[in-house]
A = this chain, B = another copy of it.
Amino acid sequence: MAKKLDLTIAQLNPVVGDLDGNRDKIVATMAEYADRSNLIVFPEMIVTGYPPDDLVLKPYFMQRVEESVNEIIAATAEHECAIILPAPVREGDQLYNCAFFAENGEIVATIYKNHLPNYGVFDEARLFQPGPLPEAIDFHGVRLGIIICEDMWYQDIAETLGQQNVEAFIVVNASPYETQKDARRIDGALSCVDRAGVPLVYVNQVGGQDELVFDGHSFILNPDGHIIYRAPACREITQTLRLEHMPVQGRWLIESAPVHTPMAQNEAIYEALMLGLRDYVTKNGFPGVIIGLSGGIDSALTAALAVDALESECVRCVLMPSPITAQTSLDDGQALAHNLGAPHETIPIAPGMKAFEQMLPEIKGLAHENMQSRVRGTVLMSMSNRLGYMLLATGNKSEMAVGYATLYGDMCGGFNVLKDVYKTKVYELARWRNDHKPVSAHGPHGEVIPQNILDKEPTAELRENQKDTDSLPAYDVLDDILYCLVEKDMGWPQITERGHDEQTVEHVRHMLDVNEYKRRQSAPGVKITERAFGRERRYPMTNRF
């Protein structure tokens, strides 16, 4: 006989460290959804936000977490609905990554994370101890196997729960976005359901936290591989689903529920960048952002993302022509600001350049180019200090990789939304945005990035007739070599086999390695690739390899 379960997936956006705010959000969700639900499932570490990093090592923080958990558990007494509440917990001297199964004001069971991710962006072995293997929980006649994030990927967990004859898995997650991640999660879920022959509910966090974006994309999967529910990406949603469990067939039946189509790659990246930027700005309380528009593609896409993520009036654009700046650069920058409806002003930097030429008569060449970039950085930071708006840096991943940027110049800024976007992808995203307006975007429909910005050759415009290709390989070559080196850890023999010449590969590898010191001082950005600079790629600065 079918057993019914009214299950609510709470794909929420917590703020790291905001124990009161997160608690209030959880309690409000319970107040709204408890009456229609038997069980509300919250994502991994919802109480603290994820990743809390070394915050959990602070005893006073964990004391406050415990208080917050107790308040939430107490609130379940007011409803006839159970919750799965993930939080870190301290037991004796040890910390665990846990989920509490609670109802009627009490904790019924505690589920511990067993496999602690400690690679890529994750540092959980630094913080937590592996907990004991999970035990099944009988709830409303259905035997549930509750799993925390990484544990879904390990055979022993699904097998342990399978041996306990679970009838469904519920997995709570804080799984950050990267391209293709959504498909990989479904693969992982499939091999989990395969082992036990039962369906799986996957609940993910949503929101930006420093360098990470959690894209949501919660789903329900039957063991036949059928996805019977999929939440939208990159936004909060709380959805109650009436599930009928068919024990003989080992699957859920669901009353009509939306199955959101996964986004195509460029749309998914654009949404992730918008969310990462929006949350960094709003969670840190900035009233808006400042962007220096050069007339080039990077600052143009950054401005479009900022207007889409925030509102046009929150995005102050500044054009800072020098005597070297072409009129077309100014025209293109102004056309862009006009398209975006963003306030903009023009501050020529000749007075600053002249002052430094007077103070440092011997300045020329690359030092003179860097000086121009730093004069612009100082103008922008002065405006940022005056207005309280955060400056956005506009560098892309290709530039960050090879150090084609001026430290304390164009690298100035509190956040760099394109930091993990290769230059070739910057062009793709700009073209995509001219053809599409994302659902949650505040910006206009239609062409926002002037065609001339897309067409002209890239230049830093710090000396006459400069082109990026004076110093760098063509971007399609550069980006492929960087992909091999950064994302795939290839040695140069493998890379030259792809048709790149040895000298170019060696040149790029050298630039990549010697510029680690610049990246170490760079602004954070949104991780979108398999390996982002920052917390995901930890290289020594002093490194003679």
Contact = CB atoms under 8 A, between A and B. Distances in A.
B408 A378 contact: yes
A83 to B, nearest CB: 23
Interface string A366-392: 110011001101110111011000000
Interface string A51-64: 11111011111011
A456 interface: no
A209 interface: yes
Nearest to A491: B60
A7 interface: no
Interface in A53-81: 53-55, 57-61, 63-64
Nearest to A537: B54
A347 B57 CA distance: 47
Nearest to A347: B359
A86 to B, nearest CB: 18
A184 interface: no
Contacts of A538: 53-54, 123, 126
A269 interface: no
A243 interface: no
5 contacts: A58-B489, A64-B545, A125-B125, A126-B538, A362-B386
A521 interface: yes
A18 B543 CA distance: 7
A379 B367 contact: no
Nearest to A370: B385
Contacts of A63: 491
Copy tally for this chain in the complex stands at 2
A16 interface: yes
Contact of A55 (B118, B356, B381, B545): B545
The list of the 9 closest CB pairs from A to B, nearest first, reads A60-B491, A17-B545, A18-B544, A355-B355, A367-B385, A17-B543, A351-B355, A408-B408, A374-B378
A491 B19 CA distance: 16
Contact of A352 (B359, B520, B542): B359
Interface residues of A, number: 81
Contact of A351 (B51, B359, B543): B359
A21 B543 CA distance: 12
A538 B367 CA distance: 34
Contact of A382 (B15, B59, B371, B378): B371
A16 B408 contact: no
Contacts of A52: 540
A375 to B, nearest CB: 7
A526 interface: no
A59 B492 CA distance: 11
B539 A54 contact: yes
Given A280-B542, A374-B378, A375-B378, A386 B363 contact: yes
Contacts of A279: 542
Nearest to A54: B538
A178 interface: no
A365 to B, nearest CB: 8
A496 to B, nearest CB: 12
Nearest to A485: B58
B17 A540 contact: yes
A490 interface: yes
A465 interface: no
B382 A363 contact: yes
A517 interface: yes
A163 interface: no
Contact of A544 (B15, B492, B517): B15
